[in-house]
């Protein structure tokens, strides 16, 4: 018997105890130091010294903190990733209704302020019908009991006819099959109206994620309309009108210059009448061009190619946690993420805990991103980069798509992470970041310190909860 490689320990000095978590089983316990000492002795190859220690080991083993041997644990890990990859219970389809956007965020891949939006792809009703055909076919083939349909972009609300059509049609087909339909929208919020929400609610609208990049002045500077006008007041007005009709998640994108404005945003949100209706509030770092100097504590990414053209077509500013987990494992910034997570919780909002972040959908065979022309992608972060398309809804066979599919099928960055305790929730990091930053999507993109900060937060929460009970 020996300790699991997935154990993480955090001393809690005020209780003279240790918070123990296993990232594979998700077991979380507060133990006394002698239990940790027992685990250390097991790691050193020692046997239990008393019958009471044997009982403790059995209890620890029941929750995955102690295992029989490392080889079996690695086989269990491989089986876990195989199950993640091949699971059929839920079919996830992210539809990019358009790559056009009405905002001009300077950090966005569509914020080039040039002619990109004039030529950006927009899904036609004919293509929408083919996407619905394809989705129904996948449901029939997999026998899934749940369909998660996410509308994304670009700004998805710029193409409402496609959204309404697909929601209505897939609701009917799911109802006929006894399949649960869950609809999510990721939007900048400017066109979010009561009419949109009421139109989609009967079809299974689960919630909407909108983006606020700091307090009013900061947001208006970071996320203006293409004409330069501010957008904060209009978005808040829209949220106020629909928050009682559907769940609203708030996301935000920060950099070194804007991060200090987020406490003011949280103050503002906590004072609004819709504050208790916000399902989640989560912030992440801005995606930056590789050549830009990285501010201390920020992870730069490369959304723009060397020729200045958009590298990826999907709106990566919306990636991250929220109603729809489009890219929950992207772009961690350890110190600032921890700071904002604590501030968010202090204001009474639910936020991501920094640990339960993956594996993301790129590792799931039955999670698909569909571009406006019907091209299939492994995740939204690669949508719009044509050579990364892994197929097409019409089944066409083209060598570059076949090669891309094979490339994604062999993603196993975690195999280079040795015995890192966070492999089950990280899977080697964000593939988009590895592709853009390292030039190799198969290389690990490590954010271990961010996960460690997340476990520290869980430990503090556990200690606080125990103190409240006692």
Task: Note the pLDDT tens digit of each residue in 331-373.
Answer: 445 677 788 888 999 999 999 888 888 888 999 999 999 999 9
Which DSSP symbol is given to 280? E
The pLDDT of residue 106: 67
Percentage of the chain modeled with pLDDT above 90:
63
The pLDDT of residue 392: 96
Q: Tell the residue number behind the tokens 């993109």, with chain if given.
A: 445
* Residue 293 banded pLDDT, cuts 50, 70, 90: very low
The pLDDT of residue 227: 83
Nearest to 323 by CA among 285, 350, 296, 342: 350
Q: Give the ranges where 10-97 is alpha helix by DSSP (H).
A: 33-43, 51-62, 70-86
The pLDDT of residue 312: 40
Angle at Cα 105 formed by Cα 101 and Cα 111, nearest 5°? Answer: 60
* Residue 114 banded pLDDT, cuts 50, 70, 90: low
Distance CA 402, CA 404 (A): 5
Residues 6+ apart with CB under 8 A from 96: 123, 152, 153, 154, 156, 313, 314, 369, 370, 371, 372, 380, 383
The pLDDT of residue 119: 67
Distance CA 9, CA 390 (A): 41
Phi/psi region, residue 343 (left: phi>0; alpha: psi -120 to 50; beta: rest), is alpha
Check whether 311 has a pLDDT greater than 70: no
The pLDDT of residue 306: 36
Percentage of the chain modeled with pLDDT above 70:
87
The pLDDT of residue 228: 86
Work out the widest C-alpha separation in the chain, in whole angstroms.
75
Print burial letters for 370-399: b (CB count within 10 Å at least 16), e (below 16). Answer: bbbbbbbbbbbbbbbbeebbbbbbeeeeee
The pLDDT of residue 104: 81
Which DSSP symbol is given to 436? I
Check whether 177 has a pLDDT greater than 50: yes
Over the chain, what is the mean pLDDT?
A: 86
Higher pLDDT, 228 or 77: 77
The pLDDT of residue 196: 98
Check whether 166 has a pLDDT greater than 90: yes
Residues 6+ apart with CB under 8 A from 321: 251, 280, 282, 284, 328, 351, 352, 357
Angle at Cα 277 formed by Cα 329 and Cα 101, nearest 5°? Answer: 55
The pLDDT of residue 102: 87
Is 247 strand, coil or helix?
Answer: strand
The pLDDT of residue 84: 94
Distance CA 79, CA 85 (A): 10
Identify which of 65-79, 281-295, 333-347, 427-441 has the greatest average pLDDT: 65-79
Distance CA 440, CA 236 (A): 40
Enter the pTM of the model: 0.86
The pLDDT of residue 111: 45
Q: pLDDT (tens digit, 9 = 90+) per residue, 227-267?
A: 889 999 999 999 999 999 999 999 998 888 888 999 999 99
The pLDDT of residue 344: 95
Check whether 107 has a pLDDT greater than 70: no
* Residue 328 banded pLDDT, cuts 50, 70, 90: very low
- The arithmetic mean of pLDDT across residues 170-179, rounded, is 97
Phi, psi of 119 (to 5 degrees): -110, -5
Is-cis flag, bond preceding 359, omega within 30?
A: yes
């Amino acid at each position: 018997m020996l300790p699991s490689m997935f154990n993480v320990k955090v001393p809690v000095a005020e209780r003279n105890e240790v918070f123990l978590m296993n990232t594979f089983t998700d077991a979380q316990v507060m133990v006394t130091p002698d239990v940790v000492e027992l685990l250390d002795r097991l790691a050193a190859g020692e046997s239990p010294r008393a019958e009471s220690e044997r009982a403790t080991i059995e209890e620890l083993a029941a929750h995955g903190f102690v295992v029989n041997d490392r080889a079996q644990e690695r086989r269990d890990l491989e089986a876990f990733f195989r199950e993640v990859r091949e699971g059929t219970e839920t079919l996830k389809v992210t539809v990019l209704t358009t790559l056009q956007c009405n905002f001009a965020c300077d950090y966005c891949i569509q914020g080039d302020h040039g002619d990109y939006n004039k030529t950006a792809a927009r899904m036609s009703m004919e293509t929408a019908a083919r996407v619905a055909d394809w989705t129904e076919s996948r449901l029939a083939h997999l026998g899934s009991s749940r369909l998660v349909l996410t509308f994304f972009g670009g700004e998805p609300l710029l193409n409402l006819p496609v959204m309404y059509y697909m929601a209505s049609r897939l609701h009917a087909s799911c109802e006929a099959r006894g399949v649960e339909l869950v609809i999510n929208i990721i939007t900048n919020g400017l066109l979010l109206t009561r009419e949109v929400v009421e139109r989609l609610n009967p079809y299974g609208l689960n919630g909407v994620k909108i983006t606020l990049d700091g307090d009013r002045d900061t947001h208006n500077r970071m996320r203006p309309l293409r004409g330069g006008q501010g957008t904060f007041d209009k978005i808040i007005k829209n949220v106020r009108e629909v928050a009682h009709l559907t769940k609203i998640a708030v996301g935000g994108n920060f950099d070194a210059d804007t991060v200090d404005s987020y406490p003011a945003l949280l103050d503002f949100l906590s004072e609004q009448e819709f504050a208790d209706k916000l399902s989640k509030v989560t912030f992440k770092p801005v995606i930056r061009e590789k050549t830009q100097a990285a501010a201390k504590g920020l992870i730069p990414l490369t959304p723009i190619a060397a020729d200045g053209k958009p590298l990826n077509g999907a709106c990566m500013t919306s990636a991250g946690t929220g109603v729809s987990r489009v890219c929950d494992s992207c772009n961690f910034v350890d110190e600032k993420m921890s700071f904002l997570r604590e501030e968010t919780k202090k204001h009474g909002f639910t936020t991501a805990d920094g640990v339960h972040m993956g594996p993301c959908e790129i590792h799931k065979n039955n999670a698909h991103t569909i571009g406006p022309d019907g091209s299939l992608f492994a995740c939204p972060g690669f949508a719009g980069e044509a050579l990364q398309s892994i197929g097409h809804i019409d089944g066409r066979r083209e060598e570059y798509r076949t090669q891309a599919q094979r490339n994604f099928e062999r993603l196993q960055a975690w195999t280079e992470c040795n015995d890192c305790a966070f492999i089950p929730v990280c899977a080697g990091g964000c593939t988009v970041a590895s592709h853009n930053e390292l030039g190799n999507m198969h290389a690990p993109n490590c954010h271990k310190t961010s996960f460690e900060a997340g476990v520290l937060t869980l430990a503090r929460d556990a200690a606080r909860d125990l103190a409240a009970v006692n």
